[in-house]
Structure 1
Amino acid sequence: MHINGKPRPPRQALDVVVIGEALIDVVTTPKGTIEYPGGSPANVAYGLARLGVGTGLLTSLGADRRGDALEKHLTGAGVTLLPGSRSLEKTSTATATIASDGSATATIASDGSAGYAFDIAWDVEPPDLAHTPPKVLHTGSIASFLSPGAGKVKAILQQLQDACTITYDPNIRPALLGTHAQARGTFEELVHLTNVVKLSDEDAPWLYPEKTLEETALHLLDLGADLAVITRGSSGSLLATPSASLSIPAAKTSVVDTIGAGDSYMSALILGLLTRGAGGLAPSVLDQLGRTAAAAAAITVSRAGARPPTEDELRAKLQQPAHA
């Protein structure tokens, strides 16, 4: 996408490769069961494609109707499903039960934890991306923690560490992460291999309960990230580099629900990294990155479900006056 309205050149190689889980969210209500496409990395890939970015997804789908539905959902938006992504017998799911008053009923997972019940397997065969690396490689969520695939994701990051910009959103799911110490150790090993790390204001205090959000951002920079981003919902977001720190307000909107907001923010942040020009990570660039990502999240929360904006919708939002 070109925010300034210049025409996009014909696509050649993929601009972004996303590596991570795609799954089906199964929501059971008193009125019946509804299934939605899900998985944070898949949502980011979907959001990028909606923004006109040439995007490939390496994931792990089953040879079943749910896998077919996910593939149709992703490719319908323009995502290229990379070879080896239909590798499971059964597509992964995350199940939640919603009571008649709208509250989530505690669903007990196989590990004894309450909340979402995950039935997920994660493994990938690393493609050879070294010869034609994308401009940006994104990963995160369950895919960066769950074996055996997590080790292969780490190997891909090690291979491409100096070949492209690497972005990472851990999208913490405590029920799947083992001990806190193990999860934080895995996370920090990956931060060392990445350029841009995004945490939510739920992820950050879970990982670092002893730190403020600002202290956590500084810690990510100390670990080697070039840019640390912490989203704070309606309070906006914090973007920090070793030389600058900006607080960006949330874009004005009417909230219907917050499903997919963080993934939409991530997609638009990656878009901003692709289109930032020669400004590096100067404060003016950080401001544009943050406002573009905030606008995308605002569009998503203004309508039901994980429906990220299109390129035209995001451009129109960015052209609105700040108070609109």
Structure 2
Amino acid sequence: KPNDVLHFCSVDLIEAPVKKAHYKAISYAHKHQMIVSFDPNLRFPLWPDKIKYRQTILEFIPLAHLIKISDDELFFITGIEDLQQSIQSLFQGHVKVVILTKGSIGATVYTKTSQFFVPSIKTHAVDTTGAGDAFIGAVIYQILSQKMHVDQIEKLIDEKVIHFAHQVSAHVVSRYGAIPSMPRLSDIETK
């Protein structure tokens, strides 16, 4: 239904029935005006052929409205070394928002016509496992809690949304383990 989010990563896009299932799910999401979110979340050991991996990711990018990508992933996927050109190359098909994460530095949100940067929250990091997943999960939580429609995400994914995502990520990296470190909402609201 509208205001719902379908999120996926490249881990599931290996040639198999799962890849075809993704096409069906994405088609369903578009038909029902859902927001489609894609985090390439590169996992090279699962893909022996890096060229095919890159091509597969490039197939799915235009199908998403929201892309969360790290700076390392960006340059591998686009093959473009210039940051602005690399980001702009992602704006094809349905893409409305690209969030470029830079670990402990922060994140920049790009639309076709604007951009803004939100610095990360300084914390003592002990384990970065799950930080990116926590970040995009927090963004999706904000999309759902604000009942954002696909046509609104360019305006409604703002500094507050990204700051919240940084709070969640800071909580995660300050603890050990990807799952045990995930916060409750009350852990974030009290900060």
TM-score by length of 2: 0.86
Measured after TM superposition, the shift of residue 235 of structure 1 is: 1.1
Q: Which residue of 2 is the match for residue 143 of structure 1?
A: 12
* 1:270 aligned counterpart, secondary structure: helix
Measured after TM superposition, the shift of residue 134 of structure 1 is: 7.1
Correspondent of 2:116 among 246, 256, 262: 246
* 2:104 aligned counterpart, secondary structure: helix
List runs of 5+ in structure 2 lacking aligned partners.
none
* 2:139 aligned counterpart, secondary structure: helix
Measured after TM superposition, the shift of residue 182 of structure 1 is: 2.1
The aligned amino acid for 1:145 is: I
Measured after TM superposition, the shift of residue 147 of structure 1 is: 1.9
The aligned amino acid for 1:286 is: D
Retained in 2: the 8 A contact 1:257–1:301?
A: yes
Q: Which residue of 1 is the match for residue 87 of structure 2?
A: 217
Distance 1:249 1:266 in 2: 16
* 1:274 aligned counterpart, secondary structure: helix
Distance 2:119 2:189 in 1: 18
Alignment pair present for 1:308 and 2:182: yes
Distance 2:64 2:101 in 1: 18
Distance 2:84 2:104 in 1: 17
Q: How does 1:1-324 map to 2 (within 5 A)?
A: 135-163=4-32, 164-276=34-146, 280-281=152-153, 285-306=157-178, 307-317=181-191
Which structure: greater helix fraction? 2
List runs of 5+ in structure 1 lacking aligned partners.
1-131, 318-324
Measured after TM superposition, the shift of residue 188 of structure 1 is: 2.1
Question: Residues 226-284 of structure 1, C-alpha deviation per residue, up to 9 Å, x if partnerless?
Answer: 11111100111111111211111011211111111011001101012123467934567
Distance 1:296 1:220 in 2: 26
* 1:199 aligned counterpart, secondary structure: strand
* 2:95 aligned counterpart, secondary structure: coil
Residues 215 and 223 (structure 1), Cα distance of their counterparts in 2 relative to 1, 3 Å cut: farther
Figure out how many residues of one structure are paired with residues of the other and give that number: 186
Residues 142 and 277 (structure 1), Cα distance of their counterparts in 2 relative to 1, 3 Å cut: closer
Residues 288 and 276 (structure 1), Cα distance of their counterparts in 2 relative to 1, 3 Å cut: farther
The aligned amino acid for 1:294 is: H
* 1:229 aligned counterpart, secondary structure: strand
Residues 288 and 212 (structure 1), Cα distance of their counterparts in 2 relative to 1, 3 Å cut: farther
The aligned amino acid for 2:9 is: G
The aligned amino acid for 1:232 is: K
Structure with higher Rg: it is 1
Question: Residues 287-321 of structure 1, C-alpha deviation per residue, up to 9 Å, x if partnerless?
Answer: 1221111111001011111111111112123xxxx
Distance 1:283 1:156 in 2: 25
The aligned amino acid for 1:249 is: P
Distance 1:194 1:297 in 2: 23
After superposing on structure 2, the runs of 4+ consecutive aligned residues of structure 1 that deviate more than 6 Å are none
TM-score by length of 1: 0.53
The aligned amino acid for 2:21 is: K
The aligned amino acid for 2:41 is: N
Distance 2:93 2:38 in 1: 13
Residues 273 and 150 (structure 1), Cα distance of their counterparts in 2 relative to 1, 3 Å cut: same
Retained in 2: the 8 A contact 1:137–1:166?
A: yes
The aligned amino acid for 2:142 is: G
The aligned amino acid for 2:165 is: A
Distance 2:154 2:51 in 1: 34
Measured after TM superposition, the shift of residue 170 of structure 1 is: 1.5
